[in-house]
Amino acid sequence: MALKVRLRELIYDVYERRLRRQLRGARAPRHVGVILDGNRRWAKEAGLDIAHGHRAGARKISELLGWCREADVEVVTLWLLSTDNLNRSSAELDALLEIIAGVVDELTDAANPWRVRIVGALDMLPTETAARLSAAALRTEGRTGMQVNVAAGYGGRQEIADAVRKLLQQHAEAGTTIEELAEFLTVDHISEHLYTSGQPDPDLLIRTSGEQRLSGFMLWQSAHSEFWFCEAYWPAFRRVDFLRALREYSARHRRYGG
């Protein structure tokens, strides 16, 4: 068994070096979004409890960020908790929220260069969790490292609704009428109020676990994104999988409707 594992590791090492050579001088995405899917199925198939799967997935995040930094990615958005996930059992949800808060604490540790932004409807999260996430993100202000968006309590439709609500409130406070707003409203006005305002839209969206749908992830921002779907569950996602995604992205010709 040990020999078989070692042989597989050698094969992956050779394959990884090959991928790296293929990516030399290749166009890299500025913004990568990742749907970290498959923690629960990975745990079940391994005969472990669900919380163990979430913890294994959490440990994988720091590896991914290291790979992204090596690839000169500027922004990474990690979808850790959807608005739909809030309907899970209280036992699983409580454990998951604690794991997410722990991940954010680690990402915002002084030893890390990341600038962290929490993107999502924090008012839908428990007050204590929302406050902990917000406080952690504040600790990274002024850092110059890669931008890391942590999507918690996130849903694409909810984000658009929140953006429109903020837009209407802003113009109501300024005395703008609905008729006046309707005359000059553009997509840029809505974009300015998204959770990711001021950031480039994702060039590449990755989803693990074999599912081939966005499930509401970055609906507005992904209008021109490239999608890459991976069969591996998130805890089993490897560097070679990430490099394959980058290779696929670099090979695509992005026309933007032209």
Binding residue numbers: 37-42, 54, 82-84, 88, 207, 213-215, 226
Binding residue numbers for substrate: 38-42, 54, 82-84, 88, 207, 213-215
Instruction: Tell me: pLDDT of 1 over 70.
Output: no
Binding residue numbers for Mg(2+): 37, 226
Task: Give the C-alpha distances (Å, rounded to integers) separating 156 from 50, 63, 119, 121, 162.
Answer: 25, 26, 11, 10, 10
Other Cβ atoms within 10 Å of 127 Cβ, number: 9
74-100 pLDDT, tens digit each: 999 999 999 999 999 999 999 999 999
Instruction: Tell me: pLDDT of 9 over 90.
Output: no
Across the chain, mean pLDDT equals 94
Q: What is the pTM of this model?
A: 0.94
Q: Could you give the angle at the alpha carbon of 190 between the alpha carbons of 188 and 195, nearest 5°?
A: 110
Could you confirm whether 149 is annotated as catalytic? no
Task: Single out the catalytic residue among 85, 94, 112, 241.
Answer: 85
Torsion region of 232: left, alpha or beta (phi above 0 gives left; psi -120 to 50 gives alpha): beta
Task: Single out the catalytic residue among 37, 149, 201, 203.
Answer: 37
Could you confirm whether 37 is annotated as catalytic? yes
84 DSSP 8-state letter? G
192-236 pLDDT, tens digit each: 999 999 999 999 999 999 999 999 999 999 999 999 999 999 999
The answer to whether 155 and 82 are in contact (CB under 8 A) is yes
Per-residue confidence at 119, pLDDT binned at 50, 70, 90?
very high
**Token representation of residue 2:** 């040990």
Instruction: Tell me: pLDDT of 60 over 70.
Output: yes
For residue 202, the SS3 value is coil
